[in-house]
Amino acid sequence: MGWSTPQASLEKAKAWVNELQRQADPNIVIALAGNKFDLDARRAVEAKTAQDYAEEAGLLFFETSAKTAHNVNELFTSIGKIHWVGGLQTFH
């Protein structure tokens, strides 16, 4: 999901998240990636807006760049570090 595209991108992401939360396993780990970090000057959605939504929805959030690999490894590493213990989400 590139934040340099119109606000509609965030709304589409919200729709996908709602669908996943409705149909997927309740223990699903969902990460929201604000791609195109390298194009900050052209962003249409502020990182804080995306971060606030991610926190509200219980998602991981990273600003990433496929071009420079900014935070790509960190995003996947964070997903891998999440453990479910007795139905509770913990980060290690």
Give me the pLDDT at residue 89, please. 58
Give me the pLDDT at residue 46, please. 83
How much is the pTM? Answer: 0.74
- Write down all domains in the chain, each with its CATH number in brackets: 8-91 (3.40.50.300)
- φ, ψ (nearest 5 deg) of residue 14: -60, -40
- φ, ψ (nearest 5 deg) of residue 79: -60, -45
Question: Is-contact 17 57, C-beta < 8 A?
Answer: yes
Give 49 or 91, the one with higher predicted confidence.
Answer: 49
Q: Which residues contact 12 (CB under 8 A, 6 or more apart)?
A: 1
Question: Is-contact 89 59, C-beta < 8 A?
Answer: no
- φ, ψ (nearest 5 deg) of residue 24: -85, 175
